[in-house]
Amino acid sequence: MRNQHYIYQHSLLRFIIFVSLFFLYTIANGQRTKVDSLARLLSSAKDDTSRVKYMWQLARDIGTYNPDSALRLSQKALYLARKIDYKEGESRSLGILANTFVKIGNYPRALELNLEKLQLEEKRNNPRNMASVLMNIGVVYVLQEDYRNALSYYSKADSIIQQNKVEDLRYYAALNIGDAYNRLDISDSAFSYFSRSLELAKELDDIDLIGTSMTGLGHSYLKMGNNEQSLYNYKKAIGYLTEANDDEILCEAMLGLANLYEKTKKYDSAAWYAGYSLTIARADGFLSKELEAAEFLTEHYRKVNSIDSAFTYVSYVKNLNDSVNSRSKIREMQVISSNEQFRQLEMEENRRIAQAERMQQLQMLLIAIFIPGFFLLTLFLSRINVSVKLIRLLGILSLLFLFEYLTLLLHPTVARLTHHTPVYEIIIFVGIAAILIPLHHKLEHWFIHKLLHHRHGKQHPKPAVEPKKIVPAENPVKPEKPKR
């Protein structure tokens, strides 16, 4: 019987490996086709908005198998979106960048970027984006085992989802909150949210989601001592998850069922389901699930006094811990590498911004030199024999340049004082215009008058001594006629 079980397990293992490889090959080919299509669209994009869109989409799709390239692409998309003030592109790029860091295992950086995206979304009116980033922050906190903070952000996301009826996120909010309560061992609340998620999964008619929710309910019933309902939910979940090919949650459901059988002293069933969970986890490379199953089997065989089996699994657990430590070291190196890559691209972007600022300052300096130079040219031309219309035009242009330059200088200060609030900016600039426009007209008339007056004065000089004017008397006396 033991040999038959061994043969069955290894036959199942070979089958799972074959199916998994075939499935991954199919997915990879489909993914590669999509990536190639996006790469072609990116290379032929004419405008920067489209380039940002294709870059973050491409980064999202290649992140599963090439996180380094995804990191570079999403970061470039982020900087370009900021350059052209494309807020949706900036938000999307921040999200993809954060998710890429999650895949690498760089949780602090992922949290930092998600919080940056949250600050951006707080200034916008996009409930779905807001709820999504709140849930992603919660996920990062779960990965860091900070379940209280995770629950806080999940609850905020759920509130936004309920208020704004963001239908496509309702299931995930309920499931995530249930998971957070389950990890905190608050089983009644976990049960409530897992039940809600199951109802939503049934509405969506998604067997994978149904299986996941029923696994959560199995955990809740087990902790609350309702073994019958726990057994029902675990077994139904295993059926759904097997059909959906969701091996990761399947491992969790089987190990949960093994815990239930261990609790009810059905030791053979407990060992079988734990062994099955271990086999699937090992085949699919779910190292944490494999370690959980191996640790369960170690304690199980100690309890049933099967010393040889217990010793075997002790060695197995030790090897797995070595692998976990090795992977942790690799992940630490990846985190360091990703931080350095992020820093290098950030430095490159800062250099670009500094160069652009220097160019802008140089342009402002040149304009500041040009305006008085243009004024002096106008003054010089007014002294020589040049058309009056040209002098008038140059005088008007001189003043226009001056006032537009003043507006250009004031704009950054006004934007900073108003925190880029358009209403306040308009009010302030209308006030400035109310002062400058009349002043402009007065100066224009005065300046043109002075130029032309100087010009006419030079062409028709006043005589040194003005001739006396003969003023007729008010009542002139008629001369008398001469006497004959």
User: What's the domain count of the chain?
Assistant: 1
Instruction: Tell me: pLDDT of 227 over 60.
Output: yes
Please report, rounded to a whole number, the percentage of residues in the chain having pLDDT higher than 70: 76
**How many angstroms separate the CA atoms of 110 and 102, rounded?**
6
Q: What is the 3-state secondary structure (H, E, C) of the chain?
A: CHHHHHHHHHHHHHHHHHHHHHHHHHHHHHHHHHHHHHHHHHHCCCCHHHHHHHHHHHHHHHCCCCHHHHHHHHHHHHHHHHHCCCHHHHHHHHHHHHHHHHHHCCHHHHHHHHHHHHHHHHCCCCHHHHHHHHHHHHHHHHHCCCHHHHHHHHHHHHHHHHHHCCHHHHHHHHHHHHHHHHHCCCHHHHHHHHHHHHHHHHHHCCHHHHHHHHHHHHHHHHHHCCHHHHHHHHHHHHHHHHHHCCHHHHHHHHHHHHHHHHHCCCHHHHHHHHHHHHHHHHHHCCHHHHHHHHHHHHHHHHHCCCHHHHHHHHHHHHHHHHHHHHHHHHHHHHHHHHHHHHHHHHHHHHHHHHHHHHHHHHHHHHHHHHHHHHHHHHHHHHCCCCCHHHHHHHHHHHHHHHHHHHHHHHHHHHHHHCCCCHHHHHHHHHHHHHHHHHHHHHHHHHHHHHHHHHHHHHHCCCCCCCCCCCCCCCCCCCCCCCCC
Mean pLDDT over 261-272 rounds to: 93
Instruction: Tell me: pLDDT of 182 over 60.
Output: yes
Residue with tokens 């990062």: 140
**190-204, 225-239, 278-292, 360-374: the lowest-pLDDT one:** 360-374
Average pLDDT score, the chain: 80
For 65-89, write each residue's pLDDT tens digit: 888 888 888 889 998 998 898 999 9
User: Quick one: which of 428, 405, 408 has its CA closest to 418?
Assistant: 428
Instruction: Tell me: pLDDT of 458 over 60.
Output: no
How many other CB atoms are there within 10 angstroms of residue 93's CB atom? 29
In a domain, 80, yes or no: no
Check if the beta carbon of residue 117 is closer than 8 Å to that of residue 133: yes
Q: Which range has the top average pLDDT, 210-224, 274-288, 340-354?
A: 210-224
pLDDT the model gives residue 403 = 72
pLDDT the model gives residue 331 = 61
Q: Say what the pTM is.
A: 0.67
Mean pLDDT over 138-143 rounds to: 93
User: Quick one: which of 394, 356, 382, 399 has its CA closest to 452?
Assistant: 382
pLDDT the model gives residue 128 = 93
Query: Residue 482 corresponds to which tokens in the numbers above?
Result: 């001469």
In a domain, 353, yes or no: yes
463 pLDDT tier (thresholds 50, 70, 90): low
pLDDT the model gives residue 154 = 95
Mean pLDDT over 237-262 rounds to: 94
In a domain, 215, yes or no: no
pLDDT the model gives residue 161 = 95
In a domain, 126, yes or no: no
In a domain, 390, yes or no: yes
Query: Residue 340 corresponds to which tokens in the numbers above?
Result: 């350095």
The boundaries of the domain holding residue 432 are 348-456
In a domain, 143, yes or no: no
In a domain, 387, yes or no: yes
In a domain, 57, yes or no: no
For 13-39, write each residue's pLDDT tens digit: 444 344 343 443 444 445 567 788 888
